[in-house]
């Protein structure tokens, strides 16, 4: 909040509303003239946001994917006027805690993993037709799973006998497929992460949103991004670095200083949760926050 809310009367966007924890914290810091717009593609999250909008006139809820942020905000007319944009990637705690959503391998539920369960293929549907090579590639690329090929072969062998339809079925299959386990981590963690990223096209969403962010921010507006694993954080780090350096131009090209400078300034070092925060909220243990400021 300290990094994000630079003007209590400014316009802000929480592009990953979830159940509104960050949004409520922002609203608590805004003045009467301040404004907050939230985005989420999860219908349950959007429903919570609409309730908050009825209770606070400074708040607006928008349903949609944050990768389409510019289009979603176009009719609101805030392009180039945002004082802050917050992105908090990954799955929300209510999604993990609701077995019916299929995000958790520790509770039995349908093998779904969709942020918006009304659109696209579920994880079970995709696993029913994907080749073992496709499955292995997803597990390796998006989960950095060392045993991706073995897990993929076992998934294809299992579905020839009966379809994989529940979270616990897949978790048990992965546990049988992995010969060594990481301390303190369930063997299915990487597989579920990889499938979730694939089903929801998460990494492309992140890149699409970041590309649009600079045009949305006002001068001195803040971009605050929280990532939870190396794939997400790598994209954010590279984007901020690239935008802080400016365009790569041929030597001797006659350009002004403004044309050659970057659009962002990185503020401080990445922030990680303190031991006290991890103790009170273990799901924060892998979080990393990066902050950048929009230049003219």
Q: Are 40 and 16 contacting, i.e. CB atoms less than 8 angstroms apart?
A: yes
pLDDT at position 263 is 94
> Is 6 within a domain?
no
Statement to judge: residues 107 and 137 lie in one domain? yes
Dump strand ranges (E) for the chain: 11-14, 35-40, 59-63, 82-88, 217-227, 264-266, 288-294
pLDDT at position 105 is 78
Statement to judge: residues 42 and 63 lie in one domain? yes
Statement to judge: residues 138 and 121 lie in one domain? yes
Dump strand ranges (E) for 233-287: 264-266
Binding site for S-adenosyl-L-methionine: residue ranges?
20-22, 40, 66, 88, 95
Statement to judge: residues 109 and 73 lie in one domain? no
Q: Which domain holds residue 194?
A: 101-200
Residues 6+ away with beta carbon under 8 Å from 122: 102, 110, 111, 112, 113, 114, 199
pLDDT at position 248 is 65
CA quadruple 30, 33, 38, 44: dihedral sign? positive
Q: Are strands 264-266 and 11-14 parallel, antiparallel or unpaired?
A: unpaired
Q: Are 193 and 143 contacting, i.e. CB atoms less than 8 angstroms apart?
A: yes
Binding site: residue ranges?
20-22, 40, 66, 88, 95
Q: Which of 145, 169, 200 is at the close of a domain?
A: 200
Print pLDDT tens along the chain (296 aa). Answer: 999 999 999 999 999 999 999 999 999 999 999 999 999 999 999 999 999 999 999 999 999 999 999 999 998 888 889 999 999 997 777 777 677 777 777 778 999 999 998 899 999 999 999 999 999 999 999 999 999 999 999 999 999 999 999 999 999 999 999 988 778 788 999 999 999 999 999 999 999 999 999 999 999 999 999 999 999 999 999 999 999 987 666 766 666 656 567 999 999 999 999 999 999 998 889 999 999 999 98
Q: Are strands 59-63 and 264-266 parallel, antiparallel or unpaired?
A: unpaired
Statement to judge: residues 220 and 86 lie in one domain? yes
Statement to judge: residues 135 and 59 lie in one domain? no
Q: Which of 289, 282, 277 is nearest to 96 (CA)?
A: 282
Q: Are 224 and 86 contacting, i.e. CB atoms less than 8 angstroms apart?
A: yes
Q: Which of 162, 178, 200 is at the close of a domain?
A: 200
Count of domains observed in the chain: 2
Calpha distance 249→252 (Å, rounded): 9
The strands making up 264-266's β-sheet, listed across from edge to edge, are 59-63, 35-40, 11-14, 82-88, 217-227, 288-294, 264-266
Domain harbouring 58, CATH code: 3.40.50.150
pLDDT at position 255 is 60
Q: Which of 200, 223, 252 is at the close of a domain?
A: 200
Statement to judge: residues 105 and 194 lie in one domain? yes
pLDDT at position 175 is 93
């Amino acid at each position: 909040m300290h990094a994000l809310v630079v003007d209590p009367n400014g316009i802000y966007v929480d592009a990953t509303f979830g159940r509104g924890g960050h949004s409520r914290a922002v609203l608590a810091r805004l003045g009467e003239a301040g404004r907050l717009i939230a985005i989420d593609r999860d219908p349950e999250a959007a429903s919570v946001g609409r309730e908050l909008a009825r209770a606070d006139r400074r708040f607006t809820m928008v349903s949609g994917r944050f990768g389409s942020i510019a289009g979603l905000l176009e009719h609101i007319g805030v392009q180039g006027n945002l004082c802050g944009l917050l992105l908090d990637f990954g799955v929300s705690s209510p999604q993990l805690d609701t077995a019916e959503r299929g995000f958790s391998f520790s509770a039995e539920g349908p093998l779904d993993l969709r942020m918006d369960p009304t659109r696209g293929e579920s994880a079970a549907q995709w696993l029913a037709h994907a080749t073992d090579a496709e499955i292995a590639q997803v597990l390796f690329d998006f989960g950095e799973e060392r045993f991706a090929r073995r897990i993929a072969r076992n998934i294809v062998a299992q579905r020839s006998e009966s379809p994989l339809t529940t979270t616990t079925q897949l978790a048990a299959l992965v546990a049988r497929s992995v010969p060594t386990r990481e301390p303190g981590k369930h063997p299915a963690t990487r597989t579920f992460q990889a499938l979730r990223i694939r089903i929801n096209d998460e990494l492309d969403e992140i890149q699409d949103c970041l590309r649009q962010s600079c045009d949305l921010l006002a001068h001195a507006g803040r971009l605050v991004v929280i990532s939870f694993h190396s794939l997400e954080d790598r994209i954010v780090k590279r984007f901020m670095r690239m935008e802080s350096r400016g365009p790569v131009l041929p030597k001797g090209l006659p350009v002004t200083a403004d044309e050659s400078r970057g659009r962002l300034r990185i503020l401080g070092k990445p922030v990680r949760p303190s031991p006290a925060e991890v103790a009170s909220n273990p799901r924060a243990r892998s979080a990393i926050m990066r902050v950048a400021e929009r230049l003219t």
